[in-house]
Chain A
Amino acid sequence: MRRFLHCFCLMSSKVDRHRFGYEDPTILASETAFTVNEVEALYDLYKKLSSSIIKDGLLHKEEFQLALFQSSSKQNLFADRVFDLFDIKHNGVIEFGEFVRSLSIFHPNASEAEKISFAFRLYDLRQTGYIERDEVKEMVSALLSESDLELSNDVIESIVDKTMVEADLKGDGKIDQEEWKEFVAKHPSLIKNMTLPYLKDITIQFPSFVLNTEVKD
């Protein structure tokens, strides 16, 4: 009986060591582009980000905004889309596992197909399975407004028109996944921001993981 209790105490102290939302780094590493040490380094980053405002060990929208813009109240269409896609369970927070699995797509080693698909889902604002013309216009307007740049409606329309002519090969007023893939093939820089080279250096950036590591690579 005593031995059983002793084992239980060891187990619970390990669980307490990590906050709510923690997932086994070995499992996460096996399912993503990250090594176990990289997952542990990401945990250090996640801990920092997720305790900046609401200290519950979960990454809330305001904390995500704070990390991206240094302002927790900055409303941004694109950050909203990223947050929604990272929040796989749609429970209003990004848990650690979701954080790692989503960031994996941005790893230099992740497949181009994954990145192209993620970008498509990002830009499909209303998740209809297509990027509609008015969504393109909405995003252009949002970018201009974010950058404090003003262009006349005519000019915005012509930017959107030019893009649709090139991307919307079927001419149905929306871009489907196939058309998007072809468009990206012609303009590879469109998915440049789907790769974060820093992810390869993460263990250098967050060396504190060395003290906590459970596994040596």
Chain B
Amino acid sequence: MEEILASDEPHVLAVDDNLVDRKLVETLLKKSSCKVTTAEDGLRALEYLGLAAHQDSSTNNNGSKVNMIITDYCMPGMTGYELLKKIKESLIMKDVPVVIVSSENIPTRINQCMEEGAQIFMLKPLKHSDVESLRCQIMQCRG
């Protein structure tokens, strides 16, 4: 019984360099009955997914368990856009929906992300209703 319920919970990887925002997105996702893993930057996110340059495909299978990735756009090192590109280049992860969040409403930025295959672009701070809507989208993607 427990196993069925647990596998029913979507698993979301949330990436944000801001400590407060990471706590907030984690709580929002848990409130919407999602299992959450957080990462503080793009590189750590890729490492978790087993997609980092120094990893080979047998490193882990975390990627196949993740149902959605939510990433902040503005991050030092690797931006959310660059992370999105790396995910879309991966055979295992390319069909996993990637949500880009940003505190800034910049149309060129939004278009750039959508063209690269982002599922949706959302403005920070995220609200409970935003996350509930995302959860529905994940469940639809899983089919």
Task: Tell whether A pairs with B.
Answer: no
- B residues sitting closer than 8 Å to A (CB atoms) are none
